[in-house]
A and B are shown apart, each in its own frame.
Chain A
Amino acid sequence: DQQVKQNSPSLSVQEGRISILNCDYTNSMFDYFLWYKKYPAEGPTFLISISSIKDKNEDGRFTVFLNKSAKHLSLHIVPSQPGDSAVYFCAASARYNRKLIWGLGTSLAVNP
């Protein structure tokens, strides 16, 4: 059973516009959420995280929003750049073991 779901396998956005990547989770014990970016044949690169005590965290062009009641988080990238084209993974962990549970990823293509 997929505890972390990224329902959109791919997303295409025009350069300069906003990219919104979505993630849903089922385990109410999750209290820490992360977004990673991954290029082919490379390890994931940490982008941004959010603790369950917050509903928003911002870092430059990247903002993560957390809606605990809906068990939903999203990553906003604005403005989107061609270099942002990659696979984005959402991951979650719970305090009791801090093991990361991963979504299946969303492939983002930013078109010039």
Chain B
Amino acid sequence: GAVVSQHPSRVICKSGTSVKIECRSLDFQATTMFWYRQFPKQSLMLMATSNEGSKATYEQGVEKDKFLINHASLTLSTLTVTSAHPEDSSFYICSARDSEGTTIAQPQHFGDGTRLSIL
């Protein structure tokens, strides 16, 4: 089945540090990747849609200067949390959808998430 690799799985760092999270589709090409955030005991909250070769589309209320997204290839998207503060501590998850899945419905496949803890 489709595999999405997300790295790192856990980050602990000091306030003010910038943190980069990578999301790779290992056995398929993904023109579209998604970045989610999950708060404890809540559902997944879509932060942004990452489009290969173009700017990401951010959801309402998500600061694009805070959460920088780069989708430079069909298999890699990165999320950089800039100047992270304790309130940015959360579980961040990426997903990717096969390039066939723009008009044809295809499931999103998820990475294992990154637990970010800002001290």
Q: Which residues of A approach B to under 8 Å, CB–CB?
A: 31-32, 34, 36, 41-46, 49, 51, 89, 93, 95, 98-100, 102-105
Contacts and interface: CB of A to CB of B under 8 A. Distances in A.
Nearest to B4: A43
B109 interface: yes
Interface stretch (B12-20, B78-86, B95-103): B95-103
Given A34-B107, A100-B46, A104-B43, A43 B102 contact: no
A99 B43 contact: no
Contact of B107 (A43, A49, A103, A105): A49
B42 A104 contact: yes
B49 interface: yes
Given A103-B43, A104-B43, A105-B43, A43 B93 contact: yes
Contact of A46 (B91, B101, B108, B113): B108
A105 B41 CA distance: 9
Contacts of B97: 98
Nearest to B107: A46
Interface of B: 1, 4, 6, 32, 34, 42-44, 46, 49, 91, 93-95, 97, 101-103, 105, 107-113, 115
A99 B58 CA distance: 12
A102 B93 CA distance: 14
Contacts, number: 53
B109 to A, nearest CB: 6
A95 B104 CA distance: 8
Given A98-B97, A104-B42, A41 B91 contact: yes
A42 B44 contact: no
B43 A41 contact: no
Counting chain B CB atoms within 10 Å of each CB, the highest count among A34, A43, A51, A93 belongs to A43
A49 B107 CA distance: 8
12 contacts: A34-B107, A41-B91, A43-B93, A43-B94, A43-B95, A43-B110, A46-B1, A46-B107, A89-B43, A93-B105, A95-B103, A98-B32
